Amino acid sequence: MTARFYAPEAHATGDEVALPDDESEHLTRVLRLKRGDRIVVFNGRGLAFDATVQAAGKHAAQVLVGAARAAASEARVAITLIQAVLKGDKMDDVVRDAVMIGVAAIQPVVTARCEVTRASVERGRRRERWERIAVSSAKQCGRALVPVILEPEPFDAVVMLVEERQLPDPALMLIEPQAGADAVSLRELGARRPDEASLIVGPEGGWTPREVATGSERCQLVTLGARTIRSDAMALVATAALFAKWGEY
């Protein structure tokens, strides 16, 4: 398979664009490609092209954008994953998996039981790291669109953003079966496929009763049955289930 590279500046056939640093390094040092080699580039906003390496320097690679080509199609429902920030590498895995399965955007959220603060997420430049992981996962799964990683927000702000339709409505908030009486199963959700939706997944320690109460005012509480699913697998399982329900598979 021809190697794929992220070239955010590629817009049209005939463009001559530089690859970002990480991508240049991958092209030059890892794959040892040279002037004249054929590659594929995608711009992260849905377009992919054949391309030819023009220069493969140590720090910068330059490519000539060729004919447009098909990339893996995007999902019928644009799901924004609103994910509580998990501990350590777990959040990295969730970002990787969510991009792979096909979410449209990721909104990190800091909840009462998250073991990180927004300040520590910012200091650690975690968002920049998640963006790199999103690019890498898009390369591997064949998408031409790199889901945007939004600025982390506290839980109340996220609920407000749903209320103001700045995040997609309907918003489905996943809760443990024992955590609340108003939760429905996916069977009980209407069969109509929305164009977009938010999926809200909590942290390792679950939601506080206050968060469930706040969420229930603006979101649909949903539960995925009796077996406990690890928090770092929940987004993948729930997205797969929603895609199946909405005819994506």
Would you tell me which residues interact with a copy of itself (CB under 8 A)?
Answer: 72-73, 97, 100-102, 140-143, 185-187, 224-230, 233, 236-238, 240-245, 247-249
In the complex with a copy of itself, which residue's Cβ is closer, 52 or 140?
140
Residues 6+ apart with CB under 8 A from 247: 76, 193
Provide the minimum distance between the beta carbon of 47 and a copy of itself in the complex, in angstroms, as a whole number.
Answer: 16
Provide the minimum distance between the beta carbon of 117 and a copy of itself in the complex, in angstroms, as a whole number.
Answer: 27
- How many angstroms separate the CA atoms of 238 and 87, rounded? 20
In the complex with a copy of itself, which residue's Cβ is closer, 127 or 245?
245
Provide the minimum distance between the beta carbon of 80 and a copy of itself in the complex, in angstroms, as a whole number.
Answer: 17
Provide the minimum distance between the beta carbon of 70 and a copy of itself in the complex, in angstroms, as a whole number.
Answer: 9
Provide the minimum distance between the beta carbon of 124 and a copy of itself in the complex, in angstroms, as a whole number.
Answer: 26
Q: Which of 202, 208, 191, 206 is nearest to 242 (CA)?
A: 191
Residues 6+ apart with CB under 8 A from 158: 82, 107, 109, 167, 200
Beta strand 153-154 pairing with 105-110: parallel
Provide the minimum distance between the beta carbon of 142 and a copy of itself in the complex, in angstroms, as a whole number.
Answer: 5
In the complex with a copy of itself, which residue's Cβ is closer, 67 or 70?
70
Strand partners, 65: 51
Provide the minimum distance between the beta carbon of 143 and a copy of itself in the complex, in angstroms, as a whole number.
Answer: 6
In the complex with a copy of itself, which residue's Cβ is closer, 49 or 155?
49
In the complex with a copy of itself, which residue's Cβ is closer, 102 or 203?
102
In the complex with a copy of itself, which residue's Cβ is closer, 61 or 103?
103
In the complex with a copy of itself, which residue's Cβ is closer, 96 or 126?
96
Question: In this structure, what token pair is assigned to residue 131?
Answer: 């963006």
